[in-house]
Structure 1
Amino acid sequence: MKPGTLIGRFVPRMVKVSLLERARSACGALIGILCTGLIARSAVGSGADLPILIAPMGASAVLLFAVPASPLAQPWSILGGNIVAALVGVTAAAQIGDVMMAGAVAVSVSIALMMLLGCLHPPSGAVALTAVLGGPAIRSLGYTFVAWPVGLNSLLLLVCALIFNNVTGRTYPHAAPVESRNDVGSGAAMGAGLNAADIDAALAQFDEVLDIDRGDLHAILRRAQVHASLRQSGQTTCGALVTRTTRAIAPGTPLRDALTVLRQHRLTMVPVTDESARVLGVVTQNDLIDKTVGWERRAPRLGFGRRIALMFQRGRAPDGTVADVMTTGSVTLQPAIAAGTAAWLMKQGGLHQAPVVGTDGRLIGIVDQMDLIGAMLADIASEHAVPDRRVAGLVNG
C-alpha cells in the first residue's frame, strides 16, 4: 500500500524487524503475563473476590516486550503511570456521580499528570477507566485498588520484563547507545554541520511527544551519516590494501612469544590461526594488558582470578598461552569489502588492524585502519574532483 494514497496514510510505516525479534517479543509477553497472573493468584488464592489480573496489563506487556526501547515502556513509566492513573480513577469514581463524566475526567487528568511527572504510559489510561467502569468489585476496593491489583500487577510485570529482556540480549531499562550518550549535551558535531543542539531545536519545533529516545534519535542520525559516507567512499577494497607478509601465531603460543611478535613487527594485533591457517581469533595489546594481572621478566602472566575462571570454563588448568587471552569472534574482513565499510567495522570492534580472510576462512593478511581511511578519503576526493581542466579553469577564473 503506497504511503502517498489516502488509505496509505492510515497505515503506519513501521521498521521491519527480524523473525527472531518478533518471536522474542511474543514469548516475552507470554512469559510476563503468565508469571504475573500465576504469582498474583498464589498470593490471594484462586477463590478470592479480589481481581487477580487487570486488562491494562496486556497493553503494558506490548510496550515492555515488543518496544522496550520506547520512553513509554521504561520502569518509571509503567509504575508511575499506572499508580497515578489508579489514584485519579478511584478519586473520580468517588467524587463524580455520572459514570461517563467520571471516566472522561479520570483519563484526562491522568494524562495531564503523567506528562507533568514524566511517566506517560498509554495503558495507564485504561487503568484510570477501569477504576471507574470496573463494576462493584473494583469500586468496593477504594484506594486499595491502587496497591492491589494495579501496584502489584505492574511491579510483577516489570520484574518479568527486566529479567526476560536482559537475559535475551536487550538492555532494559533502555539506555541510549554509548556514542550518543557521550555526544548528547556536549554539542559534539555529528558531521555536515549537525550537532546535538540542532536536534534539540528540531524536537522543540515539533512540540509533541515522539515515541523515541532522544539519544536513540541522535545515534540513528549519526549512523545514517556513516552509511552515507560509506556509500560515497569509492570502490577501493581491502584486497587492494592488505599486507600479505604478515605473522600469525598458534593458540598454544606462550604469552611471552606473542608479546615478542607484537613488538618486533610493530603490530597492535596478531591473528591466531589453526594448522590450516583458519583464523580462530586475535591477540591484541589490550588482551595482554587487560586479561593479565602482572609481568614477570618483561612477560605477561595470568592472575589467580582468571586462572580460576578459565578452569571453570574448560575443566582444566590454563597454560599461560595465547588461547587463554585471545579475543574470539573478532572482526574479520573479506577482500571485497570496501575500504570505508572495513574502517567502520574496525572502529565498532575497537581494532586498529584486522585480519583479512578468504571465503574458506583462511588468513590472507592484515589491513591497517589508517590505510583504509586514507583510501576512503582519496576515493571521496577523486569522486568530487573536476574531471575537465578547462572546466576547472573556468571555475577558478
Structure 2
Amino acid sequence: MERLRASVGALLGILLTATISHQILGDTTELPFLIAPMGASAVLLFALPSSPLAQPWAILVGNSISAAVGVLSVTLLGSTPLAAAIAVAIATAAMFATRSLHPPGGAIALSAVIGGPAIHAQGFLFIISPVGINSLALLFLAIIFNNLTRHDYPHLPAERKNLHQTNDLLPGGRLGFASRDLDTVIKQYNEVLDISRDDLEFLFKQTQMHAYRRNFQQLTCADIMSRDTVSITYETSLEEAWNLLRKHKIKALPVIDDAHKVIGILTLIDFMKHANLDVYDEYEMKLRHLIQGAREATSGHIKVVGQIMTTSVFTAFADGHIVELVPLLSDAGMHHIPIVDENNHLIGMVTQSDLISGLYRAQLNGINSAPT
C-alpha cells in the first residue's frame, strides 16, 4: 500500500509540477519547463517524506545552491569535463555546509554545465527558471499529498510528536541507553544517515519498549494502580485540599470535573510555588497564610484549588502497558500519574512505589515460572 501511495504521489507531483511550470514558462523548445532532476526529487518527497534529504530546506536550498554552483562553474570553465566535475563536487560540499543535502542537487549542478545553449543563456536566472519554479511547485504538491495520505510533511522530529495520542511523554532515558551513547556511536560510524538522529533514537527506544512489553507480558496500569483514589474538584478550597494531603499522607490529588474527567492535578509543589516558598525566610508562616487566607472572601485572594492546580496533567490509560510509565516516573521526574478509562474518566492512580512494586512482582513471577 505504501509503495502504491508513493508511486501515485510521484505521478501526480510530476504531472502537476510540469503543468504549473509549463503555464508559467510557456511552450518553448529551447528552455525545458521541467528539468530531469525533479524526477529524483519526486522519489524522495513522495517515497521517503521523513528523510532529512527530502525536507523543504533540503529541496529549496539544496537545489538553488547547486544551480548557482553549476552556473558559476560553466561561466568560468566552460562546458568541459572539469567544469562538470567541479560543479558536482562544490555543490555537494555547499549542501553539506548548509545542511541542505539533496541528491538531485548534484544533477542540477551537472545540468547547468552540460544542459546546452538554452540553459547556458539563462545564466544565473537558471536558479529561478526553471529550478526554483520546479522545486517550489513540487514541494507545494508534496506537502498537500503527503498530509492528505497521513504522512506528516514537513517531517517533525520524533520527540515533538505524540505517537501514543495520549498525554504521556515519549519513552526515554533509563530503558537502556542515553542520548550521548547514540551520539558516540554515530560519530564512530562516520557515515551520512538517511534518517534524522532524533528519529533513529526514537526507533531504538521503541524497540526497547517492545522488548520490555514482551518480557513483562501483559502487565497493565490497571494491574498496579491504586483504585481507592482521593480526588478533588476545581472549587475545593485550599484548606480542604491541604487537609486531605496530610490526612492520607499523599503528595498529589487529581482534580476532576462533574463528569469525573481529569482536568488537573494538585501537588505539594503547587502549594509551595504559590506561597512563594522559594524564599526560605518565614517558610511556615507563608504556607499558613496561603491556606488560611483561602477562608477569607477578600477579592483577588487565592481561594480554591483551581487557581493553583497544574492543568497540563499527564494521564495514562488503564490498559496501557506499565513500561510506558517508566520514563514518566523516572526521567520525567513525575511521582503520580492519574489512570483513566477509555472515556478519560479517573479510575485510579499510579505512583513510583506502585510501579516499583509491579515490576518487582513481574520479575518474581518470571523467576518462579521459569523452567528448572
- Same-fold call, TM > 0.5? yes
Question: Out of 272, 294, 298, which is 2:290 matched to?
Answer: 298
Is the aligned partner of 1:332 residue 2:324? no
CA 1:110–1:231 in 2, change beyond 3 Å: closer, same or farther? same
Q: Distance in 1 between matches of 2:267 and 2:93?
A: 55
The 5 A counterparts of 1:78-157 are: 78-94=59-75, 95-97=77-79, 106-107=87-88, 110-111=91-92, 114-115=95-96, 118-132=99-113, 134=115, 136-146=117-127, 150=131
Contact 2:316 2:337 in 1 (8 A): yes
Match of 1:279 among 255, 261, 264: 261
Higher mean Cα deviation, 368-377 or 148-157? 148-157
Counterpart for residue 200 of structure 2: 217
**Structure 2: tracts of 5 or more residues without a match:** 161-171, 277-285, 295-299
Contact 1:333 1:342 (C-alpha < 8 Å) held by counterparts: no
1:242 aligns with 2:234: no
Cα pair distance change 1:57/1:263, threshold 3 Å? farther
Kindly state the Cα deviation for residue 375 of structure 1 after the two structures are TM-superposed. 1.7
Tell whether the 8 Å contact from 1:103 to 1:129 is kept in structure 2 after alignment: yes
> Structure 1's 131 and 286: CA in aligned 2 closer, same or farther, altered over 3 A?
farther
Residues 1:92 and 1:341: Cα distance change in structure 2 (over 3 Å): closer
Q: Give deviations 1:361-383, integer Å, cap 9, x for gaps.
A: 54433221331133213422542
1:319-341 C-alpha deviation (Å, 9 max, x unpaired): 9662885536741331x544334
Are the counterparts in 1 of residues 62 and 95 from structure 2 also a CA contact under 8 Å? yes
Equivalent residues of 2:265, 2:313 under 8 A apart: no
CA distance in 2, matches of 1:130, 1:292: 65
> Partners of 1:274 and 1:55 in 2: how far apart?
60
Contact 2:182/2:201 (<8 A) preserved: no
Note the 1:344-363 alignment, pairs <5 A: 344=327, 351-358=334-341, 361-363=344-346
Whether contact under 8 Å (1:234, 1:380) holds in the other structure is: no
User: Structure 1 residues 199, 344: CA separation in 2 closer, same or farther (over 3 Å shift)?
Assistant: closer
How far off its partner does 1:384 sit? 4.2
- TM-score scaled by length of structure 2: 0.61
Query: SS of 2:349's equivalent?
Result: strand
Bigger relative contact order (CA 8 A; separation at least 6)? 2
The 1:148–1:293 alpha-carbon spacing in structure 2 relative to 1, beyond 3 Å, is farther
Do the aligned partners of 1:282 and 1:328 also contact (CA within 8 Å) in 2?
Answer: yes
* Amino acid in the other structure paired with 2:123: G
> C-alpha displacement at 1:213, in angstroms?
2.1
1:1-397 counterparts in 2 under 5 A?
Answer: 56=37, 60=41, 63=44, 69-73=50-54, 77-94=58-75, 95-97=77-79, 106-107=87-88, 110-111=91-92, 114-115=95-96, 118-132=99-113, 134=115, 136-146=117-127, 150=131, 175=157, 177=159, 196-197=180-181, 200-201=184-185, 204-205=188-189, 208-254=191-237, 257-275=240-258, 278-285=260-267, 288=270, 297-299=289-291, 322=306, 325=309, 327=311, 330-334=314-318, 336-344=319-327, 351-358=334-341, 361-384=344-367
Inter-partner Cα distance in structure 2 for 1:251 and 1:143: 64
- Call closer, same or farther: CA 1:80–1:378 in 2, change over 3 Å: same
Q: CA deviation at 1:141?
A: 1.9
> What amino acid is the match of 2:360?
L
Distance 2:27 2:275 in 1: 60
SS in 2 for 1:253: coil
**Aligned sequence identity (%):** 34
Tell me, yes or no, if the aligned pair for 2:338 and 2:349 is still in contact at 8 Å.
yes
For residues 134 and 292 of structure 1, do their structure 2 counterparts lie closer, same or farther at Cα, with a shift above 3 Å needed?
farther
Q: Is the 8 A contact 1:331 1:346 kept in 2?
A: no
TM-score with structure 1 length normalisation? 0.58
Looking at structure 2, the residues matched to 256 and 161 of structure 1 have their Cα atoms a distance apart, in angstroms, of 57
The AA in structure 1 aligned to 2:358 is A
Deviation larger for 51-60 or 248-257: 51-60
Q: 1-side partners of 2:315 and 2:257: how far apart? A: 17
CA distance in 2, matches of 1:360, 1:53: 52
Is the 2:63–2:135 Cα contact (8 Å) retained in structure 1?
yes
- TM-aligned CA distance change 1:243 to 1:189, over 3 Å: closer
* Aligned-partner Cα distance in 2 for 1:90–1:290: 65
Per-residue deviation, 1:298: 1.1
Paired residue type of 1:371: D
Please say if residues 60 and 78 of structure 1, whose CA atoms lie closer than 8 Å, have aligned partners that are also in contact. yes
Distance between the aligned counterparts of 1:258 and 1:114, measured in 2?
59
Deviations 1:283-329 (A, max 9, x none): 1338947997978931599xxxxx9xxxxxxxxxx996628855367
Task: Specify the alignment match of 1:184 in structure 2.
Answer: none
Cα distance, 1:370–1:46 mapped onto 2, change above 3 Å: farther
How many residues get paired? 333
3-state SS of paired residue (1:82): helix
Paired with 1:171 and 1:247, the residues of 2 have a C-alpha distance of 44
Distance in structure 2 (CA, Å) of the matches to 1:349 and 1:190: 11
Aligned position for 2:167: none
Q: Is the 8 A contact 1:287 1:326 kept in 2?
A: no
Provide closer, same or farther for how the CA distance between residues 56 and 193 of structure 1 changes in structure 2, counting only shifts above 3 A.
closer
Change (3 A) 1:57 1:281: farther
